[in-house]
C-alpha cells in the first residue's frame, strides 16, 4: 500500500462487494467467508495506521523513520549476519520504513485521520481525503 487512500479504496470496494454479494460471481459467493475475513484484516490495518498517525507527531514519526533507516544501513554493512537472517530482517525493516513514510505523508496532509464510517457521512470530507 503506497497511500492510505489506496487502503480506503480497497476497504470500500470489498465492503460494496460483500453487501452486494448477489451481484457477484458464483466463485465470489462461495468464498464469502474468506472475503469477510480479508475485509476485517484490511480494517484492522487501517485502524492501526489511524492510531499511529493520530497518536504521534510528525517529528516522532520522522525520528522513528530515521532509526529504522539506521538499522537497515547497519544490517547491510554487517556481513556477519547470515544471508537468510539478513534478508528477513531487511524485508521487515523495509516494510516498517514504507509504513512510516506513508504515515508521515498522511500526517502532513490530514493531521488527524477519522474512521472510514465518519468519512462516509460527509461526501466532501471523503473527496478531500482522496485529493492529491
Quick: pLDDT tens for 23-82.
989 898 899 999 999 999 999 999 999 999 999 999 999 999 999 999 999 998 988 888
Domain that includes residue 17, residue range: 4-130
Angle of CA points 118, 36, 28, to nearest 5°: 120
For 12, the grid coordinates are 470500500
pLDDT value, residue 84: 86
> pTM of the prediction?
0.85
Domain count, the chain: 1
Percentage of the chain exceeding pLDDT 90: 70
Q: Which three cell numbers stand for residue 13?
A: 470496494
Site of grid cell 465492503:
15
* Residue 115: φ, ψ to 5°: -70, 155
Amino acid at each position: 500500500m503506497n497511500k492510505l487512500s489506496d487502503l480506503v479504496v480497497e476497504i470500500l470496494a470489498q465492503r460494496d462487494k460483500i453487501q452486494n454479494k448477489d451481484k457477484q460471481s458464483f466463485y465470489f459467493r462461495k468464498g464469502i467467508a474468506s472475503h469477510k475475513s480479508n475485509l476485517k484484516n484490511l480494517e484492522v490495518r487501517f485502524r492501526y495506521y489511524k492510531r499511529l498517525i493520530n497518536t504521534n507527531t510528525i517529528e516522532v514519526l520522522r525520528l522513528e523513520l530515521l532509526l529504522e533507516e539506521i538499522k537497515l544501513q547497519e544490517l547491510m554493512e554487517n556481513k556477519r549476519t547470515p544471508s537468510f537472517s539478513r534478508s528477513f530482517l531487511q524485508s521487515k525493516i523495509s516494510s516498517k520504513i514504507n509504513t512510516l513514510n506513508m504515515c508521515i505523508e498522511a500526517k502532513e496532509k490530514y493531521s488527524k485521520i477519522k474512521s472510514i464510517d465518519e468519512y462516509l457521512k460527509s461526501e466532501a470530507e471523503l473527496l478531500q481525503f482522496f485529493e492529491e
